[in-house]
A and B are shown apart, each in its own frame.
Chain A
């Protein structure tokens, strides 16, 4: 088993193409958590959906292992495929609920406002952050999630999203600026300041 642990992702993928169960198992253990959390962040924090998407991704890996280009880094290729899956899901959701989207948003916001009262500042900030992330366009969202939640380097993000590094940095800056304006009320530091003033 240690032999498989030492193998690089590319080598494991070659073995997966030959229906090697142990190679697949190692590959799954390496990336299942990262992938499900990426889907979770990208797909409205829906755990079930994220799990389904993650399962679909590995099922594709089993059924069509030749889709993987061995010349590419497996991790960036994996996020690239996952990002495309999310895009498709966005399109489907947009087609399904063109008219009812606003109603759902309002309902969700109302529910969250009710729950926020019971949660800590950090939890509130986290939920608000996710909410704001969902409002971003697909490119900004994927770039931001990959940078701060999946902790990919700018170079890796550029390869994953097939764009230049400058574009990635620019997207990060403007997304951050946007979020800071929308989240300034929910910043834990700011809330602590407000709380301290209130206690005084």
Chain B
């Protein structure tokens, strides 16, 4: 009974082709009679279908004429040739049009453009090579000062002191000794200085900040020279001065041939001594240092290579150490060399 429901109207073809009405199963007959009026209709339909099948099988198939295939092959060949013609003649005709003057032909225009691009490329390459050579010849030291300038400017107070330090001429050991002799010879005016110092000691207050002290310390000593003769001279000063007082710079004047103690505020005071400078600094712990670059006597320039004289307030360990060099730029070295050549 279930098979009855598996048949659909569209499946009638199978039954028609394979079975007559008498050969149908009861359920198949029931299915057929649901869609067709009677047994006669079924048989008639079956006869028609078989006749159509027979007619279709026996039907003399028509065939196309032979020229159709030749025409189609000719069309295919034509299309193939047309493609080749387009790729060759089309490109040639585009590049070399006959109705244009030679300079308006795209081929010449493209060639000119390619030439210009090539020349431009090569020229640009040459320029690049020249720039590279220029970079190789460029001395970066020339720019060092310019580049570092803003950094130096950013340091308040420090900037001024640094410039002064850089302009100081180196002091040689010989010059240093002469300097000491000069100081001794001129009878270092300790008394007057003492008087000034006492007054200044009273004026110097505690407003000097630790930052100023540290900045001063950084720029004080490039090469510490512990000199005993000078120590002796400064010893008296240091002994009388209190530890709270700071004398950053003491400039030695060529005319007065004495050493002036720094101003009341304790800031550096620098005077020219020919082209040379001598500065003294006394820190809180009582260490005094004399900074001298070069000293000129009787027209002779003596370099002491940015040496400084440092002395303890106690006057002990006064050892002269002329070669000790803790800092100094290459530029200053060059200046030293230049000065040496000039001297020679």
Contact = CB atoms under 8 A, between A and B. Distances in A.
A28 B69 contact: yes
Given A21-B73, A54-B68, A62-B76, A184 B8 contact: no
A129 B55 contact: yes
Contacts of A129: 52, 55
A70 interface: no
A110 interface: no
Contact of A190 (B47, B53, B56, B72): B47
Contacts of A172: 10, 13
B49 A180 contact: yes
A189 interface: yes
A151 to B, nearest CB: 8
A184 B55 contact: no
Contact of A62 (B9, B45, B75): B75
A173 B52 contact: no
Interface of chain A: mostly helix, strand, loop or mixed: helix
Contact of A176 (B13, B58, B65): B13
Given A25-B73, A47-B62, A184-B44, A166 B55 contact: no
Contact of B48 (A50, A55, A183): A183
B63 interface: yes
Interface string A158-185: 0000000010111011001101100110
Contact of B79 (A55, A62, A122, A170): A62
A101 interface: no
A33 interface: yes
A175 to B, nearest CB: 10
B51 A62 contact: no
Interface residues of B, number: 40
Q: Report, as a range, how many residues of chain A touch the other chain.
A: 35 or more
Contacts, number: 111
A36 B63 contact: yes
A183 B49 CA distance: 10
B10 A166 contact: yes
Nearest to A167: B10
A77 interface: no
B126 to A, nearest CB: 50
B65 A63 contact: no
B64 A173 contact: no
A32 B52 CA distance: 23
B47 A189 contact: yes
Contact of B51 (A33, A51, A125, A170): A125
Given A25-B73, A187-B51, 7 more contacts: A28-B72, A51-B64, A55-B64, A122-B58, A180-B41, A189-B50, A189-B51
Interface of B: 8-13, 16, 35-36, 41, 44-45, 47-56, 58-59, 61-65, 68-69, 71-73, 75-77, 79-80, 83
